A and B are shown apart, each in its own frame.
Chain A
């Protein structure tokens, strides 16, 4: 049994498992097999939106499970799920109860202590990330020179100017 991952609500994913007989050799899952998703410690069994393919790619014993984890199929955020064989046999022996995988939906906070593999800088003010702006004159860039911002263009209408020493190309007339 493995942890498949923490997915977003509405996501579709697939996982695989193998069924074996007592000798250890792979054997086809049979007996009208059913995979159910159990939310956390609830006894609710979700089956809608699950596709079980036995002998996937005609490989004996290999099973593929595809889950469409939407609200329409009964899935919720902030929840862990276990995929369990709730009906099925292998070489006429029941395998009900085997957990074949586990996943969660939006229930694992992202690790924000690293950004792109680098430790995040300590903020100057708690709650405000410390960032370095991409410097330049291209689209989406800000031209900074020694800590100042160059080429600032004011586009809003200015109604009052106080303590201005030079106003050029504005078309204003000072009374």
Chain B
């Protein structure tokens, strides 16, 4: 039986930047961190240096905050 595919989420993948002090990220919609990494490498090149992968939490406007 094929396992049920998890719901996709937006991941924020942090990559090493070549610029001093700069942060480089990419958002990808994926089912899990592994798929997120694979999508980033496909888009940014297989030599891209991935530093971290996490589920992206969109910023909340202060007015909407509880």
Contact = CB atoms under 8 A, between A and B. Distances in A.
A36 to B, nearest CB: 7
Nearest to A48: B21
Interface in A24-40: 28, 30-36
B55 to A, nearest CB: 12
Interface string A29-57: 01111111000000000011111111111
Contacts, number: 74
Interface of A is mostly: strand
A55 B23 CA distance: 14
Interface residues of B, number: 22
A112 B19 CA distance: 40
Contacts of A73: 21
B22 A30 contact: no
Contacts of A58: 10, 27-29
A87 interface: yes
A34 B22 contact: yes
